[in-house]
Amino acid sequence: MTPQIEAFLEMMAVERDASPHTLSAYARDLADAEAVCGGLIAATPEGIEAWYADLARRGLSPATQSRRRSAVRQFFRFALAEGWRADDPSSRLDAPRRGRSLPRVLSREEMDRLVAVTAAADGSAALRLRALIELAYASGLRVSELLALRVEAVRRDPTHLIVRGKGGKERLAPLNAAARGAVADWLVARDAMRNADAPDSPWLFPSRGRTGRLTPRRFAQLLDNAATVAGIDPARVSPHVLRHAFATHLLEGGADLRVVQTLLGHADIGTTQIYTHVTQDALAETVRTRHPLGRGGKA
């Protein structure tokens, strides 16, 4: 990483309070542009445009392309302010067009099957996975928020959690009886596995890995295994899909869109509205398959 990129990331952390996740993503984005262009400080507009055009050819999603564009645009604005460059070679980059991408959602029956798989299995690993699934489905937590939960936050069997989400904003995440019961069972197993000679991990879901806690990748692998056992296509299941199920099933149950926005921690209600399309599509499918006219019958 060049000194200029390091300085930019430091500015983002200090002045804009960027999260570690955002800083890590921007570091990767800028390193990619740096490698392709042979250095950002000396990059030409043509070189930046060629790098950006290549992102789509590499198969990157519009969301990822947009984030990489944002990282590079912000870097060059910083470079101008610092006097490293006299121009902005990224000024002609157009944002990619985003089509409407509906989130993958599991039905309520499929969620029940996924939970039942973990309830039927034995051992601490099954208790941990059940707690993860129940917590995600009951609260709508992002996977980063879920895996960053500290054990002290659940020791007293709370009815809700205070979560710090994107932008450092706090919100309340509710816990239902099923989630609280699953967490209580996991705490018993977790405490039984503790090493008496070592201090307790601060994380609710500790791990022996570098971070000291379960990683999103490992959680996704565990979900894939559970989905296979439950008879669900693993390609349809991921930690984020549990959050989608939380939002969609709330709206299907009649919850107000603003309430769901607050529970999900969305800054823009437009982000939440994507779930109304999912529920509308489900209603349309129900009419098509269940109504006599939809099946080609007579009224």
Burial 156-166 (b: 16+ CB within 10 A, else e): eeeeebebebe
For residue 122, give the nearest of 185, 203, 170, 187 by alpha carbon.
185
> How many residues comprise the chain?
299
Catalytic residues: 142, 166, 240, 243, 266, 275
Distance in angstroms (rounded) separating the CA atoms of residues 191 and 285: 47
Distance in angstroms (rounded) separating the CA atoms of residues 222 and 125: 9
